[in-house]
Structures are given as structure tokens and as C-alpha cells.
Structure 1
Amino acid sequence: MTFSEINQPNPLNERRKEGMVSLKKEWNNLYSENDHHALALINDGDLEFPTLYVLREDIKEKKCQHLLIERNQLALHHIENILHETNLGIAEHKHFSDQHYVILSSFRWMLDTGAAASLNNGYIKVIDGAVIQMLLTYQQNIAKDVVDLIFRRKRSHQQSHYLLCALQENADPNCLFYIANYLLSNNQNDVLFAAKLLHFIPGMAHAATKPEAVALFEGWMEDNHRYLVYTGETSDVSPMPRPYKVNLAAKYLGKPVSLEDGESLQSLSNKEKERWQQFSQLTDGTKEQLASLSAHYRQNHRNEWYEWMASPLEQHIALLDKGGIT
């Protein structure tokens, strides 16, 4: 039975609020009086990760790690791996699927109960390591959690660079929606940071109001999400990375593309392949105008658009000088 089941908080979590020294003293006294009870508190389902982190050296000193539940053992191994560059894992006799579950549930516990805490720089590194493993190694859907953690860190002037790079490296455009949520924040620094992360969206830097910024984002995503390509740019290589770009040839032809390589997901006819190549030779400005013109025409007059696409590319370009299709 956990403490929450009897409507009581774990006393170690409560003691941690009084400071790390107080927590360590309390647990060591408990261990001297009744080691079974002290370990039961550590193994309680309601224990929070920061509490285990604070007591890790005391547990190690008493050589009682083997008496901890797997969640706690793996968390302690993760701390060692991050802070001391070891390579500890879990019991080798476990089946892969069991190992997978224990690892993910342990990391999830660390994130859920410990992400909001900021005990010291080492602790932040440990949390970052767990998040990055979940996001990049185990491909878990935690983008919203990561975005929220990045903005929380930004508000308190704490390091978030590695989390941001991992989010960008994860190559999931859906994270842009979670970032855009902060365009409506009551915290102006949130709004400015969100706009900075979304700087590659045309007009974002000049949006005069929060609703205008949101409208720009929503319009851009609606128009371009099927044609986005991951660039590989992260905050490691540029202070203003552009992690996604629009494949304008695909937008012009109306063909959704692979996020990884920008290749069309649909088979192209010989004429479409030829037009794709011709379009790719145009200047960037002409590509952007022509892709937008084609997408707008396709959305509003699809049957006429098919006929229009049968005409030469030169005729399409000429329409730009005339102000578009009438």
C-alpha cells in the first residue's frame, strides 16, 4: 500500500522540502532505528525522484542498493551513468520486453516526479539525460513534456540547451504546435521565446499581437505541413536554426513528401518528374510565389487546376507578373 492510498504524503518527500541536509539526517536516523522501514519508504510507489537523488550516496554507503525495487535501482544506475560516465544497466537475465518496460517506466517516473525540481547542475544533467533517452533512443511521445520543461527552465534562467537540441533532433513537426501554444502565454518572455523558435515562419518576427502570431503559425502549418522536410539544423550549429523547410516543388505539384528526405510519397508521372526538375531551376523567390499560387488555385478550383498544370511552366511564371490567376 502506498502513502497516497491512505491519503498521506511520503514523509521523505515532505522532509525534502525542509532541505537536503534535513532529509539525509532524517533518513539516516530512520535507517539506524529500523532499516526495513527506511527502505520501505524508499521503495514506496509515491517516492519522488528528487528524494532518491538526494539520498543516493547514503544508500550507496549502506550497501543496500540490491534491496531497492527495480525502478530505484535503474534510476541510481542512470545517475551514475550521467555523472560519472559509467555504463550500468539492469539485470541481464531479464527478457528484452521486460527490460524495455522497466527502463521506460523508470524514466517516466523521473520525469513526472522530478522534472520541476532543480537541486543542482548535476541533477539537471540527470533529468536531461532521462528525457533525451526517452525522446531519441526510445522514441517516446513526450514532445509536449519536453517543450513545457524547456519553457519552465527558460523562465527560471536554467540551462535548456540540450533539451532544445534533442527536441529539434527528434524531427517531429508536431512539436511546433506545443511551442506555438506559448504565443498566447501571459508571460511576455514565453511569447518572445516561442516567436524566436518559430522565426522561420514568414512574418513571425513582425507579428504585432499574440493573435496575429498564432494566425501566422496556423496558416503556415495548414498550407505547408504536407511538404515539410527536416533539415537537421539544431541549436548546436546555429543560434537561429531552421529545423524544417518547405519543399516548394512538392507544394507546387501538390505532392506530400517524406519528412526525412523530401522525396514525394506518391509516384510521379514522367511529366510530373520533368516539371519538378524544371521548377527546381527557378529562383527562390519565384519558387515561393509560384508554389503559393498553385496551392491556392488547387484548393479553390481543383478541376481547373488540373487543366492549368498541363500548360507550360513559362505560362505559370508569366502569370506572376500579371498578379496571378483571375
Structure 2
Amino acid sequence: MALLHGLLWRFLLVLVHVNRALVSWLRVRLRNWKGRLWERAMAALLLPLALAGFPDHQKKLHPNPTNAHSVTGNRSASRRSRWLSDGRSLEKLPVHIGLLVAEEEPSYTDIANLVVWCMAVGISYVSVYDNHGIFQKNNSRMLEEIIRQKQVLLGIDVSKHNVEFLNNGSDTHQHQVVSFRPTVKVLSPEDGKQSIVHAAQQLCRSVENKERSSKDISVSMLDILLRESKNIPDPELVVKFGPVDSTLGFLPWHIRLTEFISLPSHKNVSYEELLGALQRYGTCQQRIGQ
């Protein structure tokens, strides 16, 4: 009898443990089921709100190209208007400006920016010069960079800023220089002393061929020959970039009355620095012949 009671007691204990395990399993399942049900319910409530805000988010990520072009165009127009206004506000503006780079490893982009800014304020002639003739040897790259920066800085409407790019040996006859069309000339030391030598040789040959007499050889005649070869006015202002205190052979015949202003470097140069140089030129007094 005692053995039967013992077996029955153990059987009841097993049932209790099984019941507890079953209750625990049901609780876990119910909790998981409620969690998934809650998640689905929240997703169903939040999905319409997410879909409603999605187009606005997409517009931020992918703005309307038309609006972007419009904003860019307005910004470019504003810059053009400001630069033109700055040019008109100066006491005097050079007709011809020279950009003399006295630094190693010249930057095409920075020089192109300077050329475009000079055009934008109303300067008609821009000469670019470096002592090693790097820009002149790569004048096609220089022209491409000027055109590219013209598009970047001035925008799409650049009809008033067409560039006439003069190459060596083709200044006259092939290119007619007009005042409303900005002209860019890339120079090297060969255009300085060598041009004087060539003009003197031409004058001597004309005397030898009896086209002129020896009495015609004069400074004024040499000056006429040099101006015919360049077909551009003398630079009123040269902005020199770099630490070297020298003109480095920049058109020695044409800079007798030129004002020189130095800036530390042409690399990363700003429009404000160029404008400051133009303002300094505008206030300087040139006592010619006094």
C-alpha cells in the first residue's frame, strides 16, 4: 500500500512539472504572438504616413533639374551683374591688363578664373605671361580652361563674353580686334626681346633693299613696327604673381608707362584680390612727362 502511494505521488509530481512547462511555453508563444501582432498593427498605422512623406524626401534627394538650372542661372546672372557693376564703379579701368606669373608650376584653372573675371568687369585685352613659356606651349589647354571657367563662372548666357584667342604670328590680318570682344594673348619671353630683334632686323632689311633710307631708322619707326606686330594696345596694368621682384622679360618695349601691382600667388587667388588690385590701380596717379 505504501508503494502504491509512493508511485501515485511521483505521478502527480510529474503532472505538475509538465503543467508548469506547458504554461511557460504557452506564455512565451503568447508574448511573441502579441509582439508580432503589435508590430503589424503599428506598421499598418505608420505606413500611410511614411508613404505620404516619401515624395517630399525624394524631391530633396533628387531635386527638379529645371529648378536647379534656374537657381544656377540666377546665381550666375547675379555674379555677372555684380562684376559688371564693380568695373563701372572703378575710377579708371585698364583697357589692357597683363597677368605675369613668376611662380613654378602654374595653375591653368586659377589663371582662367582671372581671365574670366577681367572680362566680366569690362577689360578688353588680357595678356597671360610666364617666364618659361608654359602657357604658350600649351595654349590650346589654356583656351579650353578659359572656356570651361567661363561657363562655370558666367553661366549659360555668355554671348557677350566671346573670347578671341590670339596666337603667335597670326595677330594681324587673320584676327580683327574689336573693342566689344575680349581678347586673350598668351605671351612668353620670345614675344619680348625677340620681337624687338625681329623688328630691328626688318627695318635693316628694308634699308638694305632700298625700301627705306638710313635716315628712317629711328625709335619712332621701330615703335611703329613693334605695334604693327602686336596689334594690341600697351598694357596699362600688370598684376605680378609670386615673390620675384622682376618683370621677367614681359614686353619690355610696351611697359614704359605700365603700372605694376604684386600679389603673393596666383594659386587659389580670389576675385576680391583681383578687384583690390584694380582699385589700387584706379587710385594711382601717373604723372606722365612731369
TM range (shorter): under 0.3
- TM-score, normalised to structure 2, is 0.21
Higher share of residues assigned strand = 2
Higher Cα Rg: structure 1 or 2? 2
More helix by share: 1
Query: RCO higher in 1 or 2 (8 Å CA, sep ≥ 6)?
Result: 2
